[in-house]
Amino acid sequence: MTVESTAARKPRRSSKRVSAAKKPQSAEPQLVQLLSPEGERVEHPDYDIQLSAEELRGLYRDMVLTRRFDAEATALQRQGELGLWASLLGQEAAQIGSGRALRDDDYVFPTYREHGVAWCRGVDPTNLLGMFRGVNHGGWDPSVNNFHLYTIVIGSQTLHATGYAMGVAKDGADSAVIAYFGDGASSQGDVAEAFTFSAVYNAPVVFFCQNNQWAISEPTERQTRVPLYQRAQGYGFPGVRVDGNDVLACLAVTRWALERARRGEGPTLVEAFTYRMGAHTTSDDPTKYRHDDERAAWEAKDPILRLRTHLEREGHADDAFFAALEEESDTLAKRVREAVRAMPDPDPLAIFDNVYADGHALVDEERAQFAAYQASFDGEGN
């Protein structure tokens, strides 16, 4: 599905469908919210969005399927089919909202947790699992979906996004680039350098920070003394904090930031305020560093539940829709499960493939030696 047809404009207050409900009191006064945790549409003076029932159902479907895929991957890790999994549980709205704001010609630089954005870009979910199963380090062609490879070292990709965006500007294209990163990565020097480069070259890039409150075991207080979105001010571009569990707000704010980039107005920092509901990865144990009551508080702000409440209340979706989606989720999970189990181990000689584009004498020599060594066992054992 696509929601590209309803471009966000600023300001726009004409909607009758916008609820009169006041924005709830919040400790974070700058948080942009369009859909409250209770599923109420909220008005915001600067960001609004008009979506059809079909588009709303589409966003809901994206989030549900992404969560189902993510749960399946976690299960596959527990079953020993994957070596590791980095769950996005709780961050579906931030990823689907921002992902659906993109045009096909825009370019995405993800971290290793952007499974929902990958879904929006049309990357086959099974492609994401190869690296977690250990059969490759990514391996998809970024140019097919304009979705770069997962970057594991945090923050590095913000510079790649900035360089790519500098290239977009040189080409005179009106595409935009989006770089995903987290609250932990915000402390990296590369992120600071990406802010500097993008600002001085006015590069068409959106920095989309999912502040999920935790960098493995370290809370955001260990990364910053100011709200992260305020960092942008020091670099000379706008920063916005958005409710990261509100798919509508994430869509509207990202779309606005992307449009700024297209118009040649330079970078924007979007801080999507959200929560990592699960562990950092399947190897992590959050019980050692955080309390269950914190998680419970965020559960009440669940991104999927609030949109479901809204859909039901407004009569935008019926039981048949939810039942069909449930079935589609199970089908997706089954397909993913089967695909992972069928993934063969690579040939040992693949170690030597693609080290260089133009070849390298030493790699050729070592490949030949290792092949001969392997062959020396032929006919033994079995």
* Interface with other proteins, residue 164, by CB under 8 A: yes
Per CB under 8 A, the segment of 13-21, 149-157, 261-269, 336-344 that binds other proteins is: 149-157
Q: Which listed range, 23-31, 131-139, 302-310, 315-323, lies at the site for other proteins (CB under 8 A)? A: 131-139
Q: Is 167 in the site for other proteins (CB under 8 A)?
A: yes
160 touches other proteins (CB under 8 A): yes
Beta strand ranges found along 155-236 (DSSP E): 177-182, 205-211, 214-215, 218-219
Number of chain residues interacting with other proteins (CB under 8 A): 43
Q: Cβ atoms within 10 A of the Cβ of 292, count?
A: 10
| Nearer CB in complex with other proteins: 7/350 | 350
- Binding test (CB under 8 A) with other proteins, winner from 3, 59, 65, 166: 166
Who's near 3: CB < 8 A, 6+ residues apart?
Answer: 51, 55, 58, 59, 100, 251
In angstroms, the CA 305 to CA 308 distance is 5
Q: What is the DSSP letter of 22?
A: P
CB of 279 to other proteins, least distance (A): 25
Is there a catalytic annotation at residue 262?
no
- Nearest approach, Cβ of residue 366 and other proteins (Å): 10
Judge whether 148 counts as a catalytic residue.
no
> Phi/psi at 181 (nearest 5 deg)?
-160, 180
Out of 354, 377, 381, 382, point to the residue binding other proteins (CB under 8 A). 354
Active site residue 276: yes
Question: Of the candidates 70, 106, 183, 190, which one interacts with other proteins according to CB under 8 A?
Answer: 190
CA 85 to chain centroid = 15
Smallest CA-to-CA distance from 145 within 100, 96, 172, 106 is with 106
Specify whether the CB–CB gap between 13 and 110 falls below 8 A: no
User: ω into residue 344 within 30 of 0, thus cis?
Assistant: no
Query: Judged by CB under 8 A, which of 296, 320, 362, 372 binds other proteins?
Result: 362
Strands 239-243 and 218-219: unpaired
Nearer to other proteins, 193 or 294 (CB): 193
Nearer to other proteins, 235 or 273 (CB): 235
Axis crossing angle, helix 53-78 with helix 303-313, rounded to the nearest 10? 150
Catalytic residue among 289, 291, 341, 360: 289
Considering only 20, 296, 342, 361, the residue that binds other proteins (CB under 8 A) is 361
Does residue 78 bind other proteins (CB under 8 A)?
A: no
By CB under 8 A, residue 363 contacts other proteins: yes
Between the alpha carbon of residue 245 and those of residues 93, 95, 344, the distances in Å are 5, 9, 37
For 118, other C-beta atoms within 10 Å of its C-beta total: 24
Q: Which stretch binds other proteins (CB under 8 A): 97-105, 153-161, 234-242, 337-345?
A: 153-161
- Site of interaction with other proteins (CB under 8 A): 136-143, 148-149, 151, 153, 156, 158-168, 170-171, 189-190, 193-194, 196-197, 200, 353-358, 360-363
> Which residues are catalytic, by number?
276, 280, 289
